Amino acid sequence: MELIGREWEKRVLQEIYEDKEAHFLAVYGRRRIGKTFLISEFFKDKGIYFEITGMKGGKMVDQLSHFSFEFGRIFEGGNKVSIPKNWSEAFQMLQSAIEKQEKKKITLFFDEAPWLASHKSGFLSALEYFWNRYLSKNPRIILIICGSSASWIIKKVIYDKGGLYNRVTKKIHLLPFSLQEVELYLRSRQIELDRKQIVDLYMVFGGVPKYLSYVKRGYSVAQIVSSVCFAAGGALNEEFTALYGSLFENSEQHISVVRALSESIYGMNKNELLAKLKFSSGGTSSQVIQELVDAGFIVYVPPFGKKKVGGRYRICDEYSFFYLSWIKKLANTNLEIGDPGFWMKKQGTPAWYAWSGYSFESLCLKHIMQIKQALGIAGVETVASGWWYQSKQPEETGAQIDLVIDRGDRCINLCELKYSDAEFIITKSYAENLRNKKKAFKEKTATKKTIFTTILTPYGAKKNAQYLDCIDREVTLDALFD
């Protein structure tokens, strides 16, 4: 299967492969994002490639048994070798085998390392010694540690304070596909969907390659979602629980945070979130929130003005938001999952518009670089943030701006992100709302910069009198695919 997209990641891997020094690469990203596929497809035909994958909850003897099988297959011509007693002995076996090889590059890939490094396994301490004492001195070695538990990789490997401190030479945080990469992936499978359909698909599956593999040729997105998410035996009916359970210990706390954020279309600051969940403001709650950020399920949107506090958390994983908005709610009603036409019946309902509006905002926030390029400011230093104003005066209304792009050329784009199935129409009341937002933003922030009201909507907006009066710039969905 062809390795689609991932151009930056492939460049990093090629640099590592061609370098004359040993490299220690850390790779992390959420489950099903394609980490293993990226590494194995790139390195499998480049020199000697040794891969072992940890088993969740597996005993050390079973993990070492898998190690001995792969060791025999790669280094001993497929012959059976004895199972090492511990990881120190396993790495000694690797050292001896490596010394017998001449000139070839050798890639050692330890996938799902958090599961290999189980309690009292000694995996990490043995790896530390192996790298520091031997591997780091061999210019033919590429050591790769990979895991879906992003927080574990970050804490235990990248920013380890012990023997692995400052040892990682490269790191890759593998993110979901962009819209452009989704389009390329679908085309590689002879699946032709127009860009609006791809946007609709992204709002449910995100850019997760495994989820996108469930897309069938010749079906609309509404049919695909009905089949995959709602039909009996659908591949993503019960993915949510398995997803969080595989990544986090005590995942109930993580799920409760995501569920709370899914119920707020404006996001929540940390105090609001803790209050809703009745969590104490201590180390545990902060750790849970940070782990969700590291894993890419929620995102922190900073407040305008480079302030350190006052930003809001929002759910940014498309599938999680879709599951909690629809699949979970459906399971809690008298309706049974199994109606393949359920999703098609929901198109255009108020609940569907509320969900799609939020999901489209999240999609846009993931494509800020593409938005900047469309605005002609790709080379300008910018800070992206949100802006919220809650009035304490009963006669004064509050205001919120989805995306604020604060530019180094003394300009600001106030971006309205509006999902629509057709050309968006700016009414008199909506235009008045936009003017009030702009006025409030200028007054409350006291900015002296030039402000451009910018609208991003799939098919653009109708150039009526209201549009001409209040809109300065426009971006359509085609720009998000660049």
One domain for residues 328 and 382: no
Average pLDDT, the chain: 92
Would you say residue 450 has pLDDT above 90? yes
Residue 333 predicted with pLDDT over 60: no
Residues 18 and 127 in one domain: yes
pLDDT at 180 over 80: yes
> Tell me: the pLDDT tens digits for 92-140?
999 999 999 878 899 999 999 999 999 899 999 999 999 999 999 999 9
Q: Cα separation of 115 and 122, whole Å? A: 12
Domain boundary among 121, 150, 173: 173
Q: Collect all residues with Cβ–Cβ distance below 8 Å to 279 and sequence separation of at least 6.
A: 273, 285
Q: In sequence order, which residues have a C-beta less than 8 Å from that of residue 205 and are 6 or more positions away?
A: 211, 212, 214, 215, 318, 319
341 domain-assigned: no
Element (H, E) at 69: helix 60-75
We report the CATH number of the domain holding residue 411 as 3.40.1350.10
pLDDT for position 265 = 85
pLDDT number for residue 339: 62
Residue 66 domain-assigned (yes or no): yes
pLDDT at 398 over 80: no
226-230: long-range pairs with CB below 8 Å, 24+:
226/340, 226/341, 226/342, 226/343, 226/344, 227/340, 229/204, 229/322, 229/323, 229/326, 229/327, 229/343, 230/327, 230/330, 230/337, 230/338, 230/339, 230/340, 230/342, 230/343
* pLDDT above 70: residue 338: no
Q: Is 77 left (phi over 0), alpha (psi -120 to 50) or beta?
A: left
Judgement on whether residues 65 and 120 belong to the same structural domain of the protein: yes
Which is more confidently placed, 183 or 351?
A: 183
Residue 342: predicted pLDDT: 74
Considering the domain architecture, whether residues 249 and 135 belong to the same structural domain is answered as: no
Does pLDDT of 340 surpass 80?
no
Q: In terms of domains, do 326 and 378 share one? A: no
Judge whether residue 336 has pLDDT over 60.
no
The side-by-side arrangement of strands in the sheet containing 382-389 is 382-389, 399-407, 411-417, 450-456, 473-475
Q: Is 139 part of any domain?
A: yes
pLDDT at position 30 over 90: no
Taking residues 205-213, what's their average pLDDT? 96
Lowest mean pLDDT segment, chosen from 10-24, 190-204, 229-243, 427-441: 229-243
What percentage of the chain exceeds 70 in pLDDT?
Answer: 96
**Whether 17 and 126 share a structural domain:** yes
Domain enclosing residue 22, as ranges:
7-173
Is 401 contained in some domain? yes
Residues 6+ apart with CB under 8 A from 18: none
From the list 416, 273, 296, the residue with the least C-alpha distance to 357 is 416
Question: Where among 313, 336, 359 does a domain terminate?
Answer: 336
- Among 138, 155, 173, identify where a domain stops: 173
**What is the pLDDT, as a whole number, of residue 224?**
92
Residue 308 has phi, psi (to 5 degrees) of -80, -25
Distance of alpha carbon 90 from alpha carbon 78, whole angstroms? 17
**pLDDT tens digits, one per residue of 76-96:** 999 999 999 999 999 999 999
What pLDDT was estimated at residue 387? Answer: 93
Number of domains in the chain: 3
pLDDT digits (tens, 9 = 90+) for 309-327: 789 999 999 999 999 999 8
Of the pLDDT bands very low, low, confident and very high (cuts 50, 70, 90), residue 349 is: confident
**Domain-located, residue 198:** no
Is 159 in the same domain as 244? no
What average pLDDT does this structure show over 389-418? 87
29 falls within a domain: yes
User: Is residue 83 included in any domain, yes or no?
Assistant: yes
Domain harbouring 316, CATH code = 1.10.10.10
Residues 288 and 155 in one domain: no
pLDDT at 330 over 80: no
Decide which of 412 and 249 is more confident.
412
Instruction: Judge if 276 and 331 occupy the same domain.
Output: yes
Residues 300-313, mean pLDDT to the nearest whole number: 86
pTM of this structure: 0.92
pLDDT of residue 2: 79
Using DSSP's 3-state secondary structure scheme, residue 101 falls into: coil
Helix then strand count (H, E) for the chain reads 22, 12
